[in-house]
Structure 1
Amino acid sequence: MPGQIQRNTLDIPFGIYAYCFTQTPVSFPHTLMGIDDEHEVYAIERNGLFAIVSALSLKEFSEDALDKKMTDMVWIASKAKKHEEVIEFVMTYTSKGCHEPLYRFSQSTFNKGEPEGILKKEDEGEERENPQRTGVLTGCYSIPVVPLRFCTIYKNQETLFQTILPHKEKIIKFLNYTTDKTEWSVKIFCDKKVFMDRYDQRKGQPIKIDQTSLLPGEGYLLAKKKHKICEEALRVEIQRILQDIYSTVLPYTDGCRFLRCFDKKIHGRSSDMVMNAAFLIKQQMLVSFRDSMNIQGEKYKNEGLVFELTGPWPPYSFCPEL
């Protein structure tokens, strides 16, 4: 039954998988299974703080077992999605005791043939035309949470609360602070060839190196030198533009975190990711933030830059250290 860890006949040790913390009591349907797809999700309360958890086998999710599974991208994607689903169930739980479907906004700016934005219904995989065209951005969460990292595991309930309760004041402060805010992701991709061509046009002429009176082998070295100079000029110019974008949208945000840019093998695009940022946005500033981002996308669309805006997300990037 929920709230109790059931042991099987082999007496395999069971532990607690933790998804998030909240101050709001939430009830879960029996059909909502946890990270192992076997045990139900439930809430446990201590001193006004609710931990959202499920039981799991400490053998299947031991440190050694996880080290091996962390190389399996299919396994990671499946489990990370389950982790996210549980957190978002909590965040979309209403005061009426029901779960409101989440529509996540996903916009890739200025891709030909695509609408301005698509809202994806997370729990059914449906898509619908972006209502932002009428000036309305939906997808606000109802309940603030402190989302925990993927694969946060405790031996038992006592260990969980012994670890967390010393940070209760910090947790409550964060929950209160993010009541009317959500995290939005902005990724910018750059077609370096287009970008460099536009850079040369602005400067009036491409970068050249005198190749007269070359000795054997010097042509290769000079080509490498030119490539290095071009790459540095590209890096400096991209950083200048990113700073311009950041300074322009910052007044509409309550915080920003710059995250690691992913390799093409991970994000799957032909262009390079040059910015990966998370912004914390108040609900009342969301339309202004998106409009400002669209203006920046229009401004730099001929420079080979593509903007990708998605949200809302749980505020992972702004969580306090626990």
Structure 2
Amino acid sequence: MTTETTVTYAYAVAQDPDGSLEEALTGLPGVADGPVRLVRAGDRGEVVVAVGAVPEQDFEESALRAHLEDLDWLESVARAHHRVIEALAARTTVLPLRLATVYLDDTRVRQMLDTRQEAFAERLSDLAAHTEWGVKIYVEAPAATGRPAEPPADADLSPGRAYLSHRKAQRHAREDAYRDAEEVARRVEDAARGHAVDRVQHRVQQGELARGPGENVINDAYLVPLEHGESFRSDVVRAGEGLPGVRVEVTGPWAPYSFATPPEAEPLKRAAP
């Protein structure tokens, strides 16, 4: 019987001043359905890393590259990763680590934590009592804007010229929608400024990552104090109203994924025998 080789998957750095986080993680399945535990640095145990064991064969460099092209596998890992972070965030301040952050073993995690504990503690203090909100702006297709295409000025146009005239009207409608999206983006920024303390501008989502109708043209994350959360949501939603063809989507509150500064994972290479 062979024993499967495992490596350590790291989910997040967190504060655990009273030692209560172990209870929050009891029975919680992580990636590969494995249990989640905490790694502490030396005797200074208030800053911890939530980790779990995962099969090395799935997370060594070449295998991981292939897995990241498998949307079912990626979704399964992302759901487990998020589940652990949300369980932690319900109890304390967390610094989420990037998806598929892996180390050779717990000792390497502890070494990383020893080295960066002071910086982690400072960042955790900065993020305390704050949550992340996502704001996406979409430009929808001209047909969905409620603005009918301009009819040809001359009913006697040939089929070719009528087609070109119709395409020109569609193009103008789309240009109008983009201008409206710029106006909505300005409104949203103004509304968010009254609540948020930080913003991260992400790459717009395309293809499989894009949700719902329309083209994603803005994909921002805002760091918002807890007491401003609902006001932030309502003010940003209101800022996006009134311009057909532009849609604003607000999501959250989330753990501050976009505002953590996690270390890179250690390459999975073992010393030669």
Residue 139 of structure 2 corresponds to 190
Which structure 1 segments of 5+ residues have no match?
1-8, 94-142, 201-205, 209-216
Q: Residues 191 and 232 (structure 1 numbering): CA distance in 2 closer, same or farther, change over 3 Å?
A: closer
Structure 1 Cα separation of the partners of residues 203 and 31 of structure 2: 26
The C-alpha deviation readout for 1:159-183, integer Å capped at 9, x for no partner, is: 2233343332221111111111001
Q: Which residue of 1 aligns with 2:271?
A: none
Tell me the matched-pair count: 254
Aligned to 2:56: 58
1:309 aligned partner, one-letter code: V
Task: Determine the structure 1 residue equivalent to 2:38.
Answer: 43
Deviation, structure 1 residue 236 = 4.2
Question: 1:78 aligned to 68, 76, 85, which one?
Answer: 76
SS in structure 2 at match of 1:66:
helix
What's the offset of the Cα at 1:252?
0.9
CA distance in 2: counterparts of 1:168 and 1:264, whole angstroms: 39
Other-structure match for 2:230: 287
Tell me by how many angstroms 1:223 deviates: 8.6
Task: Please give the alpha-carbon distance, in whole angstroms, between the structure 2 residues aligned to 1:32 and 1:13.
Answer: 22
Contact 1:196 1:234 in 2 (8 A): no
Q: Is residue 32 from structure 1 mapped to residue 28 from structure 2 by the alignment? A: yes
Alignment root-mean-square deviation, CA: 3.2
Which residue pairs with 2:105 in the alignment? 156
Q: Deviations over 1:78-115 (max 9, x none)?
A: 1110111111111223xxxxxxxxxxxxxxxxxxxxxx
Cα distance 1:30–1:246, how it changes in 2: closer, same or farther (>3 A)?
closer
Return the offset for 1:264: 5.4
Give 1:18's aligned residue.
10
Decide whether the 8 Å contact of 1:170 with 1:320 is kept in 2: no
Equivalence for 1:98: none
CA separation in 2, counterparts of 1:312 and 1:248?
A: 17
Assess if the C-alpha contact under 8 Å between 1:188 and 1:275 holds in 2: yes
For 1:315, the aligned partner's letter is P
Instruction: Quote the offset at 1:225 in angstroms.
Output: 8.1
Q: Is the contact between residue 191 and residue 304 of structure 1 (CA under 8 Å) also seen in structure 2?
A: yes
SS in 1 for 2:50: strand
1:221 and 1:66 mapped to 2: Cα distance?
49
Aligned to 1:167: 116
5+ long unaligned stretches in structure 2 = 153-159, 264-273
Q: Which amino acid aligns with 1:190?
A: V
Does 2:250 correspond to 1:309?
Answer: yes
Distance (whole Å) between structure 2 residues aligned to residue 169 and residue 237 of structure 1 = 46
Aligned in 2, Cα 1:234/1:304: closer, same or farther, shift over 3 Å?
Answer: closer
Q: What is the distance in 1 between the residues matched to 2:79 and 2:104? A: 23
Match of 2:86 in 1: 88
CA contact (8 A) 2:137 2:181 kept: no
Identity of aligned residues (%): 25
